[in-house]
Amino acid sequence: MTGPGTAHAARSLEWTASGRAVVDGVTFAVPPGRFTALIGPNGSGKSTVLRLLAGLRRPSSGQALLDGSDVTALKRRDVARRLAFVTQETAPDLDTTVSEVVMLGRAPHRGRSATTEEDVRAVGQAMAAMDVTALAERSWGTLSGGERQRVNIARALAQRTPALLLDEPTNHLDISHRLDLMQMLSRTDATVVAALHELDLAARYCDHLVLLDAGRVVAAGPPTTVLTPRLLERVYRVHATVTQGPDGRPDVRLAPLPRR
């Protein structure tokens, strides 16, 4: 990833499916060059908001902005040079190797031209970052869910964009790879926006949080202002205890609400 992070914003975003507002008047700004997490329970609209920010869905109304421009008005190749997107879904079993999958991340930069030294270098560095170098010649169809996830993220890293959008990137990852990924995302100069379920990881590694519920923004800001017992109980319907960790970040512990 090169250059300063891009600026993303949602302006009165709405997206409706089957007559239901999945995203309902969402407005927020993503701090450039920082790590932002979209958090909230299942069905809160996290994945849809990410797709709207990436221009993969057209809003029913409102705008998703990329550096001040409506992302749906930009050419897809231009968008792909500015942001990389990692979805929850993995591709079906393909007759291709891991290194070939990661090389797909270079497509926006080279088009139909031959592979360059820069392409090879970008792919190698991305594979090393995601600990998949040893899998380079493995067939995609032989990979586990966690291995596929790491390869998909490596593809996005090889794209070398100033922004990364990731939908539940920690899915299927074991603990060590999960922590390594979050640490890497927290240290990059790129703008990172990720949908996350793990509040402990969001509290520990993210700079900015957007808390969603039923398609609406409940709160947005640094973890210390968003991860409060009152908000967490209201949105997640759990009992939350929040203390300050030794690094000044919130330490969140959740428990079921007492049965009535």
Give the C-alpha separation, 147 to 138, whole Å: 11
Which tokens belong to 45?
């609209």
Which DSSP string do the residues of 31-83 spell out, in sequence order? PTTSEEEEE-STTSSHHHHHHHHHTSS--SEEEEEETTEEGGGS-HHHHHTT-
Checking if the pLDDT of 90 tops 80, the result is no
The CATH number assigned to the domain with range 1-83+161-221 reads: 3.40.50.300
**Among 239, 165, 253, CA closest to 203:** 253
Percent of the chain scoring above 70 in pLDDT: 97
Residue with the larger pLDDT of the pair 91 and 97: 97
Mean pLDDT, rounded, for 102-128: 92
pLDDT at position 137 over 90: yes
Whether the CB-CB separation of 247 and 255 falls below 8 Å is answered with no
Q: Is the pLDDT of residue 3 over 60?
A: no
Domain boundaries, the chain: 1-83+161-221, 92-158
Reported as type and span, the H/E element at residue 179 is helix 175-187
